[in-house]
């Protein structure tokens, strides 16, 4: 076992953990960004105008069909080169915007399936009681559409968390980046990358269990068999 040194292994931990708040910070910020933008997509798609609908659908499709890594490169390297609208963003901001926009298209789809899972009778009852359009959404539709989407949103949160290391390629100093620099200083990457793996496992697995629990709980609270099926 010349390749593996426990000494190095324990030495690497504090060094790598210094990047944890960046990795987690990007994940949470990008997810909040995606939650908000997902809502924007959802309402844009509901505009009853054929051309707008077509454009929105294809823009979403385009964002979803291009790799997040390419989008990160574009935002970080190419965007500043564009005249007038070009802005130079820090690696952190680029990652938040990049992952946020990429995942907002998936989240928009989740919202849509949540809204469509609300029976038409609910809209009719709300009309019969003479609710305004805003109150229909606020009081009747969204409170029913949102809870069944929570497990799916949780899954995407974990998926996004696992994508964030991609941003080390644009210099984001998250745990992967820290592990890499520790490894190159010590001419050995095994311990450092193992630690990155352990950190992801320790954070992802309990989150996945928590989401599973939440899913069961929500299904019993809402009598209906309204489980949102995964898209794709």
Partner 1 sequence: MTKPIVEYKDVHKSFGDVEVLKGIDLDIFPAEKIAVIGPSGSGKTTIIRMLMTLEEPTDGDIIVDGKNLWKMDKHGKMVEADEKHLREIRGDIGMVFQHFNLFPHMTILENCMTAPIHVKGEKKKEVKKRSIDMLERVGLGDKINNYPSQLSGGQKQRVAMARALVMRPKIMLFDEVTSALDPELVGEVLEVIRDIAKNDDMAMVLVTHEMDFALDVADKVLFLDDGVIAEQGSASDVIEHSENPRVQEFLSRFRS
Contact status, residue 195 vs residue 9, Cβ threshold 8 Å: yes
Q: Hunting for tokens 């929105």 — which residue is that? A: 56
Residue 222 contacts partner 1 per CB under 8 A: yes
Residues 186, 183: Cα–Cα separation, whole Å: 5
- Tell me how far, at minimum, the Cβ of 31 lies from partner 1, in Å: 25
Residue 229 contacts partner 1 per CB under 8 A: no
Indicate which single residue of 125, 159, 198, 231 sits in contact with partner 1 (rule: CB under 8 A).
125
Contact status, residue 93 vs residue 33, Cβ threshold 8 Å: no
C-beta of 89 vs 142, nearer to partner 1: 142
Indicate which single residue of 5, 53, 122, 188 sits in contact with partner 1 (rule: CB under 8 A).
122
Residue 127 contacts partner 1 per CB under 8 A: yes
Alpha helices in 117-189 (DSSP H): 120-128, 133-135, 142-145, 150-163, 175-186
- Tell me how far, at minimum, the Cβ of 148 lies from partner 1, in Å: 11
Residues 63, 46: Cα–Cα separation, whole Å: 19
Query: For partner 1, which stretch binds (CB under 8 A), given 81-89, 114-122, 154-162, 193-201?
Result: 114-122
Q: Which residues contact 25 (CB under 8 A, 6 or more apart)?
A: 92
Residue 135 contacts partner 1 per CB under 8 A: yes
- Tell me how far, at minimum, the Cβ of 129 lies from partner 1, in Å: 4
Query: For partner 1, which stretch binds (CB under 8 A), given 3-11, 122-130, 154-162, 183-191?
Result: 122-130
DSSP assignments along 18-44, one per residue: TTHHHHHHHHHHHHHHHHHHHHHHHHH
Residue 131 contacts partner 1 per CB under 8 A: yes
Q: Which residues contact partner 1 (rule: CB under 8 A)?
A: 119, 121-122, 124-125, 127-133, 135, 139-140, 143-144, 222-224
């Amino acid at each position: 076992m010349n390749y593996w040194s426990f000494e190095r292994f324990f030495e690497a931990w504090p060094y790598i953990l210094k990047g944890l708040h960046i990795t987690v910070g990007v994940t949470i910020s990008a997810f909040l960004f995606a939650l908000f933008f997902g809502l924007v997509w959802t309402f844009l798609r509901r505009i009853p105008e054929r051309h707008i609908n077509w454009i929105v659908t294809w823009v979403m499709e385009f964002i979803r069909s291009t790799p997040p890594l390419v989008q990160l490169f574009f935002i970080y390297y190419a965007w500043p080169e564009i005249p007038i609208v070009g802005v130079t963003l820090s690696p952190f901001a680029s990652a938040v915007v990049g992952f946020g926009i990429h995942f907002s298209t998936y989240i928009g789809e989740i919202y849509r399936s949540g809204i469509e899972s609300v029976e038409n009778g609910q809209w009719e009852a709300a009309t019969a009681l003479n609710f305004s359009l805003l109150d229909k959404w606020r009081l009747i539709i969204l409170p029913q559409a949102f809870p069944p989407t929570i497990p799916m949103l949780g899954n995407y949160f974990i998926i996004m968390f696992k994508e964030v290391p991609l941003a080390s390629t644009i210099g984001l100093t998250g745990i992967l980046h820290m592990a890499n620099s520790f490894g190159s200083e010590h001419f050995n990457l095994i311990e450092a990358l193992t630690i990155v793996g352990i950190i992801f496992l320790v954070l992802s697995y309990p989150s996945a269990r928590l989401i599973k629990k939440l899913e069961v709980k929500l299904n019993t609270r809402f009598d209906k068999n309204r489980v949102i099926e995964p898209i794709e």
